[in-house]
């Protein structure tokens, strides 16, 4: 790989293996990761000062970087076939960059969108770019700033031929678990971005249930943040071992340097979100797949944002506030909370993978469920020990309809669902909102019920709208004249 000095004093790579546009938090950390793994990268940012600052702040990586002040310079710095990765804000900015880049590229070059794109946009862009003779990849990158810098989980969708020239690079920068890279090609057009969307949906559910377990410990059991931190630290050595469990223990143990009190108590209880959870919930509804725990987690964040309304409502319902813990509620074992969180987590993952399966069938993606679970084991936000069991379940049964039907998970649910019931029941009795845990329990109970309440719903629908129904005693589609006076 030849290197040469530019007049500006920055180091230029004669033939960079990839170009990256967008030097925000994720973009610049991915670049540093690439250079550390031995790849040469040409970089460009719409604001030239950002590019210059990045080069100045990265002296150890300067040997593998070339800072470009135009798209023409970026394209000229790349070896063939050219690969350009976009790390810009989702939406119009991606379309604008594609429009500006395509006149500069040659057939066979590769455009890569590494942002949090809506998979429907990726499907549209894949079709348009492919028609121009280029390859298009929609790549989900999970792990935040730390993951981008040291090894994310990488979910690739789009052109399989377009992935081949950059496969070694992506596998090298991905997180490694047992020597295996957390990177895989998952399917055509929007497959990679859809998988990332459902990853984020599951993440919403996981985080919400963790927060609810903390809330029960704090307000029903009267535990301090420091005590709860120790509990999460202990849980991280068991079946709940995960990145989110680990950081929850760290967060709750952190002391605010200004007040000397737990920092979590100083944080406003208004959760933010960037839209991917809403996408996941909306796609589940569109596909007709129940994912109530994900939906409840999204709704819970939205409700938390109504801070002023909630404070006002608290004054109106002061007499109905959170009750003092009863003796039974105080006696909830921590093991029961662990079991509640574990079984709730199984239900949430079952929902997420069911949505993935439905989307795979809808778009003919043939998503490899076992491989998705494997590449989520490292780098991403929901990385956990739990994913090994999920991968094994799908490897044993590629046609598995739902994780609740997998023997390993069925055994856990059969053994520990009572702990979820106990926690949800105690929380409801004490006036503590636990929407995600409660929805996980309802999902489990509904899925395991051979007969549900839908017979009455079908009768109602037929009564007011003649929507018809099926019978249990003979095949066919039926309508009944519910208002007829003479039924003889």
Active site residues: 196, 203
147 Cβ contact list (under 8 Å, min separation 6): 141, 153, 175, 379, 380, 381
DSSP 333-345: -HHHHHHHHHHHH
Q: Is 352 helix (H, G, I), strand (E, B) or coil?
A: helix
With both helix axes pointing from N to C terminus, report the angle between 276-287 and 292-304 in degrees, rounded to the nearest 10.
140
Distance CA 382, CA 245 (A): 10
Radius of gyration over every alpha carbon of the chain, rounded to an integer in angstroms: 26
DSSP per-residue letters across 151-171 = --EEEEEE-HHHHGGGHHHHH
Calpha distance 42→45 (Å, rounded): 11
- Interior CA angle at 328 toward 324 and 332, to 5°? 100
CA pair distance 169, 163, nearest whole angstrom: 10
Task: Please give the Cα distance from 417 to 423 (Å, whole number).
Answer: 10
Return the SS3 of 67. strand
d(CA 273, CA 129): 30
Residue 289, burial from CB neighbour count under 10 angstroms (0-12, 13-18, 19+): middle
Is residue 135 classed as helix, strand or coil in its secondary structure? Answer: strand
Phi, psi dihedral angles at 345 (to 5 degrees): -65, -40
C-alpha distances in Å from residue 423, one per residue of 32, 222, 300, 343, 427 = 45, 15, 18, 11, 6
């Amino acid at each position: 790989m030849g290197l040469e000095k530019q007049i500006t004093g920055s180091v230029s790579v004669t033939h960079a293996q990839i170009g990256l546009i967008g030097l925000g938090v994720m973009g610049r950390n991915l670049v540093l990761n690439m250079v550390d793994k031995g790849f040469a990268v040409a970089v460009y940012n719409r604001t030239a000062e950002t590019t210059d600052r990045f080069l100045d702040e990265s002296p150890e990586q300067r040997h593998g970087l070339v800072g470009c002040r135009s798209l023409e310079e970026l394209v000229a710095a790349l070896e063939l076939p050219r690969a350009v990765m976009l790390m810009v804000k989702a939406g119009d900015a991606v379309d604008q960059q594609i429009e500006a880049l395509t006149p500069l590229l040659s057939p066979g070059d590769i455009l890569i969108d590494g942002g949090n794109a809506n998979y429907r946009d990726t499907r549209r862009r894949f079709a348009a770019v492919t028609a121009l003779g280029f390859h298009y990849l929609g790549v989900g990158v999970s792990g935040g700033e730390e993951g981008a810098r040291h090894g994310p989980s990488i979910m690739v969708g789009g052109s399989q031929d377009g992935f081949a020239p950059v496969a070694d690079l992506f596998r090298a920068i991905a997180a490694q678990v047992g020597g295996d890279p957390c990177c895989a090609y998952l399917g055509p057009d929007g497959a990679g971005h859809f998988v990332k969307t459902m990853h984020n949906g599951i993440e919403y559910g996981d985080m919400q249930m963790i927060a609810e377990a903390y809330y029960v410990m704090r307000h029903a059991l009267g535990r301090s943040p420091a005590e709860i931190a120790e509990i999460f630290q202990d849980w991280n050595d068991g079946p709940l071992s995960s990145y989110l469990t680990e950081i929850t223990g760290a967060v709750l143990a952190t002391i605010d340097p200004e007040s000397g009190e737990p920092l979590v108590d100083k944080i406003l209880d208004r959760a933010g979100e960037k839209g991917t959870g809403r996408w996941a919930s909306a796609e589940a509804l569109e596909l007709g797949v129940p994912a109530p725990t994900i939906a409840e987690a999204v709704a819970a964040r939205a409700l938390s944002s109504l801070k002023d309304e909630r404070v006002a409502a608290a004054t109106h319902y002061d007499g109905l506030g959170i009750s003092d813990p009863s003796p039974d509620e105080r006696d909830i074992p921590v093991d029961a909370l662990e079991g509640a969180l574990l079984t709730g987590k199984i239900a949430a993952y079952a929902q997420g993978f069911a949505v993935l399966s439905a989307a795979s069938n809808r778009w003919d993606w043939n998503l490899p469920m076992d491989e998705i679970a494997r590449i989520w084991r490292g780098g991403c936000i929901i990385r956990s020990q739990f994913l090994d069991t999920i991968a094994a379940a799908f490897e044993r049964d590629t046609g598995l309809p739902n994780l609740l039907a997998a023997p390993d998970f069925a055994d856990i649910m059969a053994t520990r669902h009572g702990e979820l019931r106990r926690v949800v029941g105690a929380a409801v009795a004490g006036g503590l909102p636990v929407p995600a845990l409660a929805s996980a329990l309802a999902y489990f109970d509904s899925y395991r019920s051979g007969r549900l309440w839908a017979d009455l719903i079908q009768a109602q629908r037929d009564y007011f709208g003649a929507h018809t129904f099926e019978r249990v005693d003979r095949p066919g589609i039926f309508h009944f004249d519910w208002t007829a006076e003479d039924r003889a």
